[in-house]
Structure 1
Amino acid sequence: MSTTRAPAIEARRLTKTYPGDVTALSGMDVTVATGTVLGLLGPNGAGKSTTVKILTTLARPDSGSATVAGHDVRRHPDRVRRAIGVVAQNSGADPVATGRENLRLQGRLYGLKGAALSRRVDDLLERFTLADAANRQVKTYSGGMRRRLDVALGLVHRPEVLFLDEPTTGLDPQARTAMWDEIARLAGDEGLTVLLTTHHLEEADRLAERIAIVDRGRVVVEGTPDGLKGELRGDAVHVELREAVGEAGRTLLSGALTALPGVHEALFDGRRVSVRADDGAGTVPALLGALERAGVGVASATVARPSLDDVYLRYAGRRYAEADAESARDLAVTGGVR
């Protein structure tokens, strides 16, 4: 008789509103299968960090339910905390203590001691290439070293579920790539479930087995990176217009462009038109001709394979960069809430 393992994380219809009538979550659903990596992808302010705070018992939802490692986050928060590791956006390491001292303290907080604790600390220092700096104060570490130590701190007690909240924020490109390699190796650990939040499209594409795209406090679509991109048939043709067109003009142009052979959809984002076509290169001349007949000037046109940015545009109705900029403005107004 076969049995189905319960999800490591399951959240249903989470809502959360902060003072000032700031809506952070508006029906968030998240399911993470045991032993897998799920990436919550969305711009800053989309609700990813609030979701993590609820799932790690640092905040309570206004409504909805959630379980982590089989434990209800409201009824048994202590059990949840024993089962999880958390790497927050801001480092939790003591800067005046050494790397080794930080790891030993974390282990003692979870009941480890003696030879078992020493072995675990030594293993983690080696694994995250921190052994040579183990006896240095953390304040002397580079940004990349601090983030590796943060991940090691989250793993000391061998958690069932690991939360990585924007793990590469603030890192330079080289340190970010090194951290990606560490996380990819980490994801191979038997039985470990990882929930990764990120606003980097490339990071989600590279690290997550499944992606849940978050916009305005809810998941708008979920699937594998390749599967989501594969739903967008053919090539993406991106056309930069000389001037933006109004709503009536967009409606007329959309009908004219989707009437072209092999064109499936046309989405407008400011001065940019994104067209899905079976043969992108072959469609460009007909596409430019249709725009010319409509009296619309074209600045440039490019052809590309579908990307997560295209997926985001389809399901959120706007470009990822636009959503990120909008969220930054909202966060400035609300003082960083969400």
Structure 2
Amino acid sequence: MRFTAFLLTGVPGLEDFQIWISIPFSFMYLLAVIGNGLVMTVVAWDRSLHEPMYLFLAMLALNDVLLCTVTVPQMLLIFWQGPSLVMFPACLAQMFFGHALFLSESAVLLAMAFDHYVAICIPLHYITLLTGSLIGKVGLALVARSVTVVTPGVFLILRLHFCRSNIVHHTYSEHMGIAKLACNNIALNSIYGLTAALLTTGLDFVFISLSYWLILRTVFQLPSRQTRKKAFGTCGAHLCVILIFYTLAFFSFFTHRFGHHVPRHTLILLANLYLLIPPTMNPIVYGIKTKEIRIHVLGICSQLKSYTKKQRCIPMTAYYKYSD
């Protein structure tokens, strides 16, 4: 027997509080979409920002918006209206894009770490190494990696037979949440999930750590204190983003597999937060730490403010014109 739809129930045990949980989640989602949208707009419009660091930042912002949009709207709908019935193909599509975008987020962070490594450790080769062609290839490579890694998970779900229940105690569709409803053996699904995570996100974290170890070693050897301060400022924002992303992701990943005594509602909330907090924090962190982004965003805000004032003055001006 194969179910044609799954029922997503939300956060088990907190059904009476989900309407209140939706308030901060809605706020974070709006902040993530608006903040990352501003970053993409600034980088796209200003040709002076068409440099590797800002292009990678725009990639991260686009990925963040897509990652939030794949999961959060449905999550909020469940919080507001109760359990939601999702057709099997839609469930598979959400699972695919959710996992693929999470992996591409990790890959973009790795690319940004490499950008900082080249800029600080081998600055004379920065222009020759990080060309526009290479950045385009990096973008295609991270998409190809995500699709290649996540696609087998879809086929592993398609081979399963579901005869127990179609109720998923979660706010969105994810691989092991669906697999656990199957009647047949899911050991292969579990091995695949663990292996894929370690060989992608795990290796990304190792390479990022290595790059920053090399960066810090180079920075401490710089003769000028001002130069060291500038280098730390360049990497500070990225380090904050990395810590937020990987701390939440690894904590959620390991508690799901080994935290058997952790309450289920805690696991579900963690699974939601590690997909929502990084996209919310990224534009804030980069907006504060990256001077060029901050200046351009403030410029857009001031232009909007002056335009709003001008629009408010139009009716009064028209009144005086016709009263003469």
Greater share of strand = 1
Short-chain TM bin: under 0.3
Q: TM-score, normalised by structure 2?
A: 0.24
